[in-house]
Chain A
């Protein structure tokens, strides 16, 4: 089953160069659905019979891996559906269709593979490959800014993730006294000897791995690439970057945590709390200045990865995982909705008011999703953020206060930006900006400075409407998921969260 999981996207990469280009994005939908189905099936099997193995132990999937796989699969499916509508405005050439299709599947493939492999060196390589496979997707729209974002993304993240490799080597070194000079660098082996590793090298290894994988998770101060990459990528890709790539990167840290904790005691927790709190702090104050919808969402991802990291540091893995799942669903929905809105109006919040009037479904979805993502009750993120708050209070009341104040800052900043977008009247800036954006879209990729062209606007606007209709379906699907998660945590999900939490050594 694990092999099939990887073969599906792999097969689609091959198909991307065989099938007629105009079919590709339609074929991607059943591919995405198959990935999601397999993800759920794998998780169900892990819950019923315990960790799965394949290829003689080369691949190993336990509750933690399964949880990451489910979040990745969900957004891969959502993005396959969203891309169907999203690119109708741009009218991709056959080559660009094929490029997009194979890069999309390659990106999905690498993200799915990360939590499956047991060898930590291979995990490192796969994390690095997720960067390389998504770099051209970030640059896909061909604007100068997207190329810049892609460059920054590759350079900053590669430097960061290379520190994780150094950490991995030191982890190996820390195990040499116990396991002899030569052994397999796989996490089940190391986990079996956790508690016997040498303290000095392990301490440095853990720190390097947190900085390395943390760069990719978007932890401050290594987050500088994130707002650019997430906002410049096409919306279906932004959703994948924010909704699941960050989780796969965090997985790298989570795998080490149970290996490091028995030897290092409180140290790993302190490191994670420090990075989590710093990320939350910087993100909270960066949200205020954002006038670009997708950048706002990107900074919110920094904030949420900060909260998740804080949760793990405090030893509340159940709520941290719940927060992670909630963030994935909600943020993916917001990026899809923001993508739909951008199709019609352009990226700036200031130029685009009264969204609720011009695009009722998208506007409402952004409003609900926006409230949910800030952790307002009664939505899904409220319960997980509350759980982490309780845990913070149990550790140190001052920590809980700082956390609470930062959440309040986030709420005010985010909601004030959001209401400017959703409410208000269209005359305040809708129409002019809308036609400008459509003219740009119609004049083709890589040509962002094209002069306004009235004729093209009319043609493109029909396309934009059709595209938004398709996009709305995805938004509604994810909105339903957000609302369901707000009301209940379904029993299987709860089981999966508990199973993942047990691996991190915490009760539910």
Chain B
């Protein structure tokens, strides 16, 4: 196993663990910190790929990723979390333990899918990318409260970034910039919507919003 493969395996393990740990807790702060660590690992990985693949442009991507995904967005999220009425999710459809189990199944599933076609060099990044995306998807689909749903969306984007860096490190940096810009706007818009919800209905629970059907 080469150095780059060892590093990408470590990164894959780290991001998958953070993705699972968001699923495994109902406290907003813990979920947020898992997201921060996931973003830090992503930024570090980007920097490593910059060196190993010789794409110096990726250094910039790593720096900007760190600033936006690991600092700016969490700072906004922290403000959103502070405005929430509680410190943890009150309404859960599924216990955190069962969510965690579903998460593990999703990771195994991703491994099966990815191993069918990926070469050993891109395997870890693709596995992690798909696992994080699926866990994010599951998080935003399975939690009734708005905050974890938002984190789910953000994790989907992290997963896609992993795929980008692992699969197409040559992708011009402009594409990473537009995605980050979009992410910031997304977090602001959703943050305001959560505020509107909590100020009107004293709850960040989107399950109380269920009058539109059919």
Contacts and interface: CB of A to CB of B under 8 A. Distances in A.
Interface of A: 119, 121-122, 124-125, 128-129, 132, 135-136, 139, 144-145, 147-152, 154-155, 158-159, 162, 165-166, 169-170, 172-173, 176, 180-185, 200, 227-228, 232, 286, 289-290, 295, 446
B93 interface: no
Given A121-B178, A169-B163, A289 B214 contact: yes
Interface stretch (B15-23, B29-37, B73-81, B149-157): B149-157
A169 B167 contact: yes
A129 B185 contact: yes
Given A132-B185, A159-B137, A182-B172, A144 B167 contact: no
Contacts of A155: 140, 149, 153
Interface centre among A144, A151, A158, A185 (most CB of B within 10 A): A158
The dominant DSSP class at the A interface is helix
Contacts of B190: 154
Given A121-B175, A121-B179, A132-B189, A169 B212 contact: no
6 contacts: A148-B206, A148-B210, A176-B170, A185-B172, A295-B214, A446-B200
The dominant DSSP class at the B interface is helix
A363 to B, nearest CB: 26
B44 interface: no
Interface in B122-146: 133, 137, 140, 146
Interface string B177-214: 01101100110011011001100110000100111101
B55 interface: yes
Nearest to A179: B170
A136 B140 CA distance: 20
Nearest to A117: B178
B186 A169 contact: no
A119 B160 CA distance: 18
B6 interface: no
Interface centre among B168, B210, B212 (most CB of A within 10 A): B212
Contacts of A154: 186, 189-190, 193
B186 A128 contact: yes
Contacts of A129: 182, 185
Given A125-B182, A135-B193, A181-B170, 12 more contacts: A119-B175, A122-B178, A147-B200, A149-B212, A154-B186, A154-B190, A154-B193, A159-B137, A181-B55, A184-B172, A200-B117, A232-B212
B25 interface: no
B105 to A, nearest CB: 20
B133 A166 contact: yes
B24 interface: no
B5 interface: no
Contacts of B206: 148, 151
Interface of B: 55, 117, 133, 137, 140, 146, 149, 153, 156-157, 160, 163-164, 167-172, 174-175, 178-179, 181-182, 185-186, 189-190, 192-193, 196-197, 200-201, 206, 209-212, 214
A248 to B, nearest CB: 16
Contacts of B156: 159, 162
Contacts of B164: 169
Nearest to A291: B214
Nearest to B178: A125
A158 to B, nearest CB: 5
Given A121-B175, A169-B163, A185-B175, A139 B193 contact: yes
Contacts of B140: 155, 159
B178 to A, nearest CB: 4
B170 A182 contact: yes
Contacts of A119: 174-175
Contact of A173 (B168, B172, B182, B212): B168
B167 to A, nearest CB: 5
B193 A169 contact: no
A158 B186 contact: yes
B178 A124 contact: yes
B178 A172 contact: no
A446 B196 CA distance: 11
Nearest to B117: A200
Contacts of B189: 132, 135-136, 154
Contacts of A149: 212
Contact of B153 (A139, A159, A169): A159
Contacts of B117: 200
B172 A144 contact: no
